[in-house]
Every structure is written in structure tokens, then in C-alpha cells.
Amino acid sequence: MKFFIDTADIGDIRDLASTGLIDGVTTNPSLVAKAGRDFKDAIREICGIVPGPVSAEVTATDHATQVAEGRVLAKLGKNVAVKVPLTVDGLKTCRLLRSEGTMVNVTLCFSPTQALLAAKAGATFVSPFVGRLDDISENGMALIADIVEIYRQYPHLKTEVLVASIRHPMHVVAAARLGAHVGTMPPGVFRALYQHPLTDKGLAAFLADWKKTGQSILPPAKVAAE
């Protein structure tokens, strides 16, 4: 499973990219507003930090303007994936931008039929929002199960299921169990994937016991230099 970070915060992106575990970044207009940065500058910078796909969303709702915006966004970095909403205009824009070789992430997907159409339009990624479905007492992960099952019936479809609106680590676990290709999550959720209190407790005990031995693995001079 690929891990994308859902943020436009450059500090978080730099920090998490340094782990070597981040495969891409997704942004949306709300995240850009939160970061308080010039949108195009931020996307250029993110593309230089993370080699994988960086989603940058169009803000127009009509096809012609979406295409014009998408072409501008695609030039910001060779790893830009233009994000378009799952509307009929967005699907038309997806098809056209894909024919020009641009990666496209079709976002705001809330149903299996929408996901089928995104794949038919040649989307590189489709982004079903699990958290927002859970928020209204629907089952977000059931939608992922449906989409993964449907796409598997048609192996020629290359669209990757990008699970979005992830709110906690159990969303990641459930998405991985279903075989979703990608999960995009806020930095805090990514960090929660590797944190465990028993790891911290066990490490503290090992270090305390090691100290009692009076030994060091590195030569003393090297230890002192660090």
C-alpha cells in the first residue's frame, strides 16, 4: 500500500519525506488555505521534496476552465497529479488531461458508480472520502470494498483507489485489508501508524538495562563526538 500525506504544510512534508516512507502528497483548496501559502509556489516546492505524485486541485467547475487550470498546474512539476471533482465536467476534464499524459486524481467520490466513471475516464487515481461518509452515518469503508471489488472485475482498468478523508489508523488498516492501492492521511495519522506505547516502554527498559552493562557499541571517541 502506498502512503500519501494529505497536507500543504511544507514543514510536515519535509519531516515525513525524510523517513523515505512517503509515496506522494495530496492537497485540496481547504488545505492550501490552512497553510496560508501561495498555491503555485507551494505545489512547486512540494514537487521538489517528494518525487511521487503531488495532487493539486483545479478550482473551476466548468470543463473549459478546468482544462486551462489543469494545464497550468501540470506545468508546476513533472509529478503533479491534477485533481478534479467528480462531476460530469470533471470527468470530461480528466479524460482530456489524461490524453495529454497528465496524471489525474478524481476527487470527492462517494459512490461506486462515480468510481466506475472515473476509471472509464482514465483517472490515475480515484479518491473516495471514507471519513466524510462515516460522519453522516454511512459506511465509508464499505464504499472502498465495493470499488476494489468492481475494479478487480476489469483488470484493464489502471485507476488506483486512493482512500481519502482518512481520520485514524484503523481506517488505514481496513483499507489495507481490502487491498486499496493508496491511503492519504493527515501527518498526525501517519505518525500514529508507527507509535505504540509498548514500543516506547520496551525501548526504555532495554536502554536502562544496557546502561547497567557500561558498554558501548561505537568506540568511545565516536560516542563523544556525537
Nearest distance, CB of residue 125 and ligand G3P, angstroms = 11
Instruction: Say whether 83 is catalytic.
Output: yes
Q: Does position 114 bind ligand G3P by CB under 6 A?
A: no
Please name the residue that has the C-alpha cell 489524461. Answer: 98
Which residue from 3, 39, 125, 129 is in contact with ligand G3P, where contact means CB under 6 A? 129
Dihedrals φ, ψ of 38, to 5°? -65, 125
Binding segment (CB under 6 A) for ligand G3P, from list 64-72, 125-133, 191-199, 214-222: 125-133
From the list 165, 175, 64, the residue with the least C-alpha distance to 108 is: 165
- Binding span for ligand G3P by CB under 6 A among 124-132, 137-145, 175-183, 206-214: 124-132
Does residue 28 interact with ligand G3P by CB under 6 A? yes
- Closer residue to ligand G3P, CB minimum distance, 67 or 182: 182
Residue 184 found at the interface with ligand G3P (CB under 6 A): yes
- One DSSP character per residue, 171-221 reads HHHHHHHTT-SEEEE-HHHHHHHH--HHHHHHHHHHHHHHHHHT--SS-HH
Per the listing, cell 506505547 goes with: 197
For ligand G3P, the closer of residues 15 and 134 by Cβ is 134
Provide the 8-state DSSP code for 155.
T
Catalytic-role residue among 2, 34, 78, 83: 83
Q: By CB under 6 A, is residue 3 in contact with ligand G3P? A: no
Q: Which range, of 63-71, 115-123, 129-137, 208-216, touches ligand G3P by CB under 6 A? A: 129-137
The closest of 117, 137, 134, 136 to 174, measured between CA atoms, is: 134
169, 175, 177, 181 alpha-carbon torsion, rounded to 10°: -120
Q: In angstroms, rounded to a whole number, what is the distance separating the alpha carbons of residues 81 and 69?
A: 12
26, 93, 105, 159: which one binds ligand G3P (CB under 6 A): 26
Q: Which residues of the shown chain bind ligand G3P in the complex (CB under 6 A)?
A: 6, 26, 28, 129, 131-132, 164-165, 184
Catalytic residues: 83
